[in-house]
Amino acid sequence: MTPTPDHFYMNNHDSHPRGIQVTAKALAEIHTALSRDGISSQQGGMRLKVEGGGCAGLTCKAMVEAAPGGSDRILQIDGARLFLDPRSFIFLFESTLDYQETPPAGFTVKSKHGTNGFCGCPTAVPTR
């Protein structure tokens, strides 16, 4: 596949300088959530959505979805896909998505530039 302006391909979870780095733990949890909800990784993916709120002004929500939206940026990482609306992509650009297993378990976002206004509290993926 040839990359388009809104579709980025990453060969592994930490090699692409123009996207979002995904740790091995987060990648495994994305695959687990897709499998749990019966969604194919070729069609569906994990949506990351930035919203106002949280203790630092912004919060990032993670949700499993069966297909991307029409204006989504799609990042492919080791067989998993991340869906980001254009606004969320701007906020998450060059950040790292990690997964914290200890309570409260969930995904966390860290900026390579230090503090980026994100609440440090993990976000759990809702079950269907």
Determine the straight-line distance between the first and last CA of the chain, rounded to whole angstroms. 31
Residues 6+ apart with CB under 8 A from 122: 99, 100, 104, 105, 106, 107, 108
- Residue 126 region by backbone torsions, left for phi larger than 0, else alpha for psi between -120 and 50, else beta: beta
Kind plus residue range of the DSSP H or E element containing 32: helix 24-36
Domains present along the chain, CATH in parentheses: 7-111 (2.60.300.12)
Q: Tell me: the pLDDT tens digits for 26-39? A: 999 999 999 999 99
User: pLDDT tens digits for 55-64?
Assistant: 666 778 889 9
| Model pLDDT for residues 60-106, shown as the tens digit of each residue | 888 999 999 999 999 998 888 999 999 988 888 888 888 888 878 88
